Amino acid sequence: MKKNLTIALVIIAILGVIGFVLTNNKKENKAKTDIVAQKNAAVSVKTTAVKTEAVTTDFVANGNFEPTQELTLAAEKSGKVVRILVKEGDYVNVGQTLLIVRSDVINVNAQTAQAAFSNAQADYSRYENAYKTGGVTKQQLDQAKLALTNAGANLKQANISVGDTRVKAPIKGFINKRFIEPGSVLTGMPATPMFEIVDVSKLKLQVAVNETQVTSLKIGTSVKVTASVFPDKAFDGKITFIATKADERLNFVVEIEIENNANANLKAGMYGTANFASKQKQELKVVPRNAFVGSVSSNKVFVVENGKAKLKTVVAGRILGNQVEIVDGLANGELVITTGQINLQDGSSVEIIK
C-alpha cells in the first residue's frame, strides 16, 4: 500500500514538471512570435522618385499578325468530288484548278445545249432568207430570232456549268485547311466548305494605341516590326489604317502592313511588336511602368507618405518603353512604390529597401 502511494506521488511530480516546462515554452514561443510580428508588420518595398526628364517619345505596341487576304472557298453548285489536286500546305495561284467534280451529266447537258443552239442558228438563217422573198412573216422571223437568243443563253449557262466542274482558286495563297475528300458530295445550298486559303505574302499587324500616341501617327509612315519568335529580325512595315473612333477602352486601332520575306517566315497568328520611332525628345514627368497596380490602364499607384503606403489615382499618358508619362496626380519628388505592391493595402506600413 505504501509502495503504491509512493509511485503515485512520483508520477504526479513528473506530470507537474512536464506541465511547467510546456507552459514556459509556450510563453517563450509567444514572445518570439510577437517579436517577429512586430518586425514583419512593415512590408518591404522598393521606390523610385517621380521626376521630369527629357524622354524620347518612341513607343511600342503589341498585337498579332493577320493575313491581308484569306477566304473559305465554298461550293456554288451540287456535285460529287471525283478528284482533288491539292493538299494542305500547298501554295496555289489564282485560277489554279483545285478539284474536279463529276461532269458526265453536265457534259451531256452542254452537248444538248450546243445542238439546240446550232439548230436555232440554222432555223434563223432559213427564216431570214425566206423573209427576204416574202416566204415568212416578220413575226415568224422575230420568233426565230428569239429562239436563237434563248438557245444561246442556254448554251452559255451549260458551258459555265462545265467550267464549274473544275473548281479554281480565286486568290493566291496556301491551302491552310481542306474540308473535303474524294467522294464528298457538294451542295450549293447550304454551301459546302471546301478549302481555307490564306495569303501571307503580305501581313498586317493590328495594334491599339492611346489618344496621346495616335496623334503622332500618319497613314504611310514606315514602322519597324519584330516578331517574338524572330527577336533578331526586323521587318519593314507601313501604317495603312488608323481608326477614327476609339474602342470601349479608349484605344485606337492601327494596322501596319508588312511584306513577308521570301521564305514566308512570318505566320498569321504570331505575336508581333510595332516600334514607333519619332526621333524626338520631350520634357515629361515619368514613372516606371512597374509602379502601376495591375497595369497602366488601372491608373493607380502606391506612394510612400510618413512610412505608409498611400494608394493614389493618377492620369497616365503615353507608354514610353519602360516608362509611363504622368499627366496628373503626382508631383516631382514623390516616392512611388515599384515592387511589393501585391502585399500592400492603402495605409500599410512599409520599409524601403535600398
Given a cut of 80, whether residue 106 has pLDDT beyond it is: no
Higher-pLDDT residue of 144, 288? 288
Given a cut of 70, whether residue 27 has pLDDT beyond it is: no
Domain residue limits at 119: 103-164
Whether residue 223 sits in one domain with residue 258 = yes
Whether residue 270 sits in one domain with residue 286 = no
pLDDT for residue 283: 87
Whether residue 203 sits in one domain with residue 271 = yes
pLDDT for residue 143: 86
CATH number for the domain harbouring residue 311: 2.40.420.20
pLDDT band at residue 116 under the 50/70/90 scheme: confident
Instruction: Examine residue 175 and state whether it is found in any structural domain, yes or no.
Output: no
Instruction: Examine residue 192 and state whether it is found in any structural domain, yes or no.
Output: no
222: its cell numbers: 514606315
Task: Look at 2-16, 114-128, 178-192, 213-227 and tell me which has the smallest mean pLDDT.
Answer: 2-16
pLDDT for residue 33: 42
pLDDT band at residue 317 under the 50/70/90 scheme: confident
Instruction: Examine residue 210 and state whether it is found in any structural domain, yes or no.
Output: yes
Pair type for strands 173-178 and 193-209: antiparallel
- Nearest partner of 103 among 147, 164, 50, judged by Cα: 164
**Last residue of a domain, which of 164, 188, 211?**
164
What are the phi and psi torsion angles at 223 (to 5°)?
A: -140, 135
Given a cut of 80, whether residue 334 has pLDDT beyond it is: yes
Instruction: Examine residue 335 and state whether it is found in any structural domain, yes or no.
Output: yes
Whether residue 262 sits in one domain with residue 208 = yes
Higher-pLDDT residue of 111, 200? 200
Higher-pLDDT residue of 280, 152? 152
What is the Cα–Cα distance from 304 to 70, expressed in whole angstroms?
53
Instruction: Examine residue 256 and state whether it is found in any structural domain, yes or no.
Output: yes
Name 319's Cβ contacts closer than 8 Å, sequence gap at least 6: 59, 60, 210, 213, 289, 296, 325
pLDDT for residue 231: 81
pLDDT band at residue 11 under the 50/70/90 scheme: low
**Last residue of a domain, which of 239, 259, 276?**
276
Mean pLDDT, the chain, rounded, equals 84
CATH number for the domain harbouring residue 271: 2.40.30.170
Whether residue 322 sits in one domain with residue 299 = yes
pLDDT for residue 21: 53
CATH number for the domain harbouring residue 117: 1.10.287.470
pLDDT band at residue 257 under the 50/70/90 scheme: very high
What is the Cα–Cα distance from 73 to 132, expressed in whole angstroms?
53
Whether residue 295 sits in one domain with residue 327 = yes
Average pLDDT on 30-52 reads 70
Whether residue 270 sits in one domain with residue 204 = yes
Q: What percent of the chain has pLDDT over 70?
A: 84
Average pLDDT on 108-128 reads 79
pLDDT band at residue 39 under the 50/70/90 scheme: very low
pLDDT for residue 35: 44
Whether residue 287 sits in one domain with residue 267 = no
**Last residue of a domain, which of 231, 247, 276?**
276
pLDDT band at residue 138 under the 50/70/90 scheme: confident
What are the phi and psi torsion angles at 303 (to 5°)?
A: -120, 160
Given a cut of 60, whether residue 32 has pLDDT beyond it is: no
pLDDT band at residue 193 under the 50/70/90 scheme: very high
pLDDT tens, 204-256?
Answer: 999 998 887 888 899 999 999 999 888 888 899 999 999 999 988 889 999 99
Instruction: Examine residue 110 and state whether it is found in any structural domain, yes or no.
Output: yes
The domain total for the chain is 3
Whether residue 145 sits in one domain with residue 208 = no
Whether residue 149 sits in one domain with residue 113 = yes
pLDDT band at residue 38 under the 50/70/90 scheme: very low
pLDDT for residue 19: 62
Q: Answer yes or no: pTM beyond 0.75.
A: no
Instruction: Examine residue 249 and state whether it is found in any structural domain, yes or no.
Output: yes
Instruction: Examine residue 292 and state whether it is found in any structural domain, yes or no.
Output: yes
Q: How many CB atoms lie within 10 A of CB 329?
A: 17
pLDDT tens, 64-97?
Answer: 999 989 999 998 878 888 899 999 999 999 999 9
pLDDT for residue 277: 82
Whether residue 298 sits in one domain with residue 250 = no
Whether residue 286 sits in one domain with residue 265 = no
